[in-house]
Homo-oligomer: A and B are copies of this chain.
Amino acid sequence: MKENIFNDEHFFEEYKKIREKEVNFNNAIEQPAMQKLIPDLNGKKALDLGCGYGYNCIDFINRGVEKVLGIDIAEKMLDVAKSECAHPNIEYRLMSISDISKTDIKEMKFDFVYSSLAFHYVEDFKKLCEDIFYILNNEGVLLFSQESPFITASPKIGGYNRDENGNLISYTFSNYSACGPREENWLDTDYIKYHRTFGKIITDLAQSGFAVKEVCEPMPREEAVKKCPSMAGQFIRPNFLIVKAEKIKKGT
């Protein structure tokens, strides 16, 4: 049970099926909200933490970025990235997000650090914030999404409740207040993710020097809910938490 579940053969195949659906939670909810928050990247240097298939790295190239470094812990996903999303200005590296301060990445400087749905696999969020702050240029932007604390709180206790007609009516959870590891099972695969309260996430960012600019808990549009009715549950409680933060040195 480690953060490299995306290397698991069974998980990888099942996950691919979800991502290939016409309407899924990523392309209907998380990605549209993330896209809106991406700053002007023209001539900038970007780092994608947990780049997966490399789709976002290519998107950054299309937005005029000068150079992208995409890192991921799952070789299987990087294989897809390298064959489907190759570009002379993109470098893909096999490594863990937790290790950026142990490599030469520590000496590189970026204007934009992006991460889609990977941070809840990282154990030490405060250290991650500090690492990212260190490698960002002044006025650089961090944009990340993660599973909402509503979900990470208690993967094995609670869930949605329905009325006698099968309509979603409420959501039950537990253990919100204790940050730490949670055992999860998704697509028949066991793994560990890390729960953090809203308070810890924002405070860790602030104490690392970031100015938090926007916190978004994105909702699906009506058309998406029609095609995928389970998305109605988002109005009861969101799946995703998105944070945009800026490195601003006081006095500059």
- A residues at B contact (CB < 8 Å): 150, 154, 157-158, 161, 169-178, 197-199, 202-203, 206-207, 211-217, 219, 234-238, 241, 248, 250-252
Q: Are B206 and A213 neighbours in the complex by a CB distance under 8 Å?
A: yes
| A198-B217 contact in complex given A211-B206, A212-B206, C-beta closer than 8 Å | yes
Q: Bound state CA distance, A84 and B251, in angstroms?
A: 44
A1 to chain B, nearest CB (A): 24
Q: Bound state CA distance, A234 and B170, in angstroms?
A: 20
Q: Bound state CA distance, A148 and B215, in angstroms?
A: 16
Q: Are B212 and A177 neighbours in the complex by a CB distance under 8 Å?
A: no
Q: Are B175 and A172 neighbours in the complex by a CB distance under 8 Å?
A: no
In the bound complex, residues from chain B placing their C-beta under 8 Å from that of A213 are 203, 206-207
In the bound complex, residues from chain B placing their C-beta under 8 Å from that of A217 are 177, 197-199
Q: Bound state CA distance, A59 and B236, in angstroms?
A: 40
Q: Are B215 and A199 neighbours in the complex by a CB distance under 8 Å?
A: yes
Cβ-neighbour of A212 out of B212, B241, B250, B252 (below 8 A): B212
Closest 9 pairs between A and B when the two form their complex, measured CB to CB: A170-B174, A202-B215, A199-B215, A199-B217, A172-B172, A198-B198, A176-B237, A177-B235, A203-B214
Q: Are A211 and B211 neighbours in the complex by a CB distance under 8 Å?
A: yes
A106 to chain B, nearest CB (A): 26
Q: Are A215 and B236 neighbours in the complex by a CB distance under 8 Å?
A: no
Q: Bound state CA distance, A202 and B174, in angstroms?
A: 24
| A214-B219 contact in complex given A158-B170, A174-B171, A175-B235, C-beta closer than 8 Å | no
Which of A178, A206, A219 has the most chain B CB atoms inside 10 A of its CB? A206
Q: Bound state CA distance, A218 and B111, in angstroms?
A: 35
Q: Bound state CA distance, A237 and B175, in angstroms?
A: 7
Q: Are B176 and A203 neighbours in the complex by a CB distance under 8 Å?
A: no
Q: Bound state CA distance, A235 and B138, in angstroms?
A: 38
Q: Bound state CA distance, A252 and B175, in angstroms?
A: 42
29 contacts between A and B (CB under 8 A): A150-B176, A157-B169, A157-B170, A158-B170, A161-B172, A170-B172, A170-B173, A170-B174, A171-B174, A172-B172, A174-B236, A175-B235, A176-B237, A177-B217, A177-B219, A177-B235, A177-B236, A197-B217, A198-B217, A199-B215, A199-B216, A199-B217, A202-B215, A203-B216, A206-B212, A207-B213, A207-B214, A212-B212, A251-B251
Q: Bound state CA distance, A217 and B176, in angstroms?
A: 10
